Amino acid sequence: MTGDTEDRVRAYAAKTPFNVGLWAGFWAKPDATRVMLLAEDVVGDWPGDPEPVRGREAYRDRIARLLELVPDLHLEVAEHAENDGCLFIHWVAHGTGESGPFVFDGIDRILLDEDGLVKETVIRYDPAVVAARVGGRSDGEGPDA
Tens of pLDDT along 14-69?
Answer: 667 899 999 999 999 999 988 889 999 999 999 999 999 999 999 999 999 999 99
Tell me how far apart the alpha carbons of residues 110 and 118 are, in angstroms, rounded to a whole number.
Answer: 7
Q: Which pTM was predicted? A: 0.83
The verdict on residue 114 lying in a domain is: yes
For residue 12, give the CATH number of its domain: 3.10.450.50
What is the domain count for the chain? Answer: 1
Q: Where are the alpha helices (DSSP H) in the chain?
A: 3-15, 20-28, 56-69, 127-134
Residue 9 in this model has a pLDDT that exceeds 80: no
Tell me how far apart the alpha carbons of residues 9 and 96 are, in angstroms, rounded to a whole number.
Answer: 33
The verdict on residue 144 lying in a domain is: no
The verdict on residue 18 lying in a domain is: yes
Could you give the percent of the chain with pLDDT greater than 70?
83
Could you tell me the residue range of the domain that residue 82 belongs to? 3-134
The verdict on residue 145 lying in a domain is: no
Q: How far is CA 49 from CA 19, 108, 139, 141, in A?
A: 25, 15, 6, 8
The verdict on residue 139 lying in a domain is: no
Could you give the percent of the chain with pLDDT greater than 90?
68
So what's the pLDDT on residue 11?
61
Q: Dihedral (C-alpha) 112, 31, 74, 84: value to the nearest 10 degrees?
A: 10
So what's the pLDDT on residue 143?
44
Question: Of 69 and 92, which is predicted with more confidence?
Answer: 92
Pick the range with the lowest mean pLDDT from 10-14, 36-40, 99-103, 115-119: 10-14
Band the pLDDT of 87: cuts 50, 70, 90. Answer: very high
Pick the range with the lowest mean pLDDT from 3-12, 47-56, 81-90, 128-137: 3-12
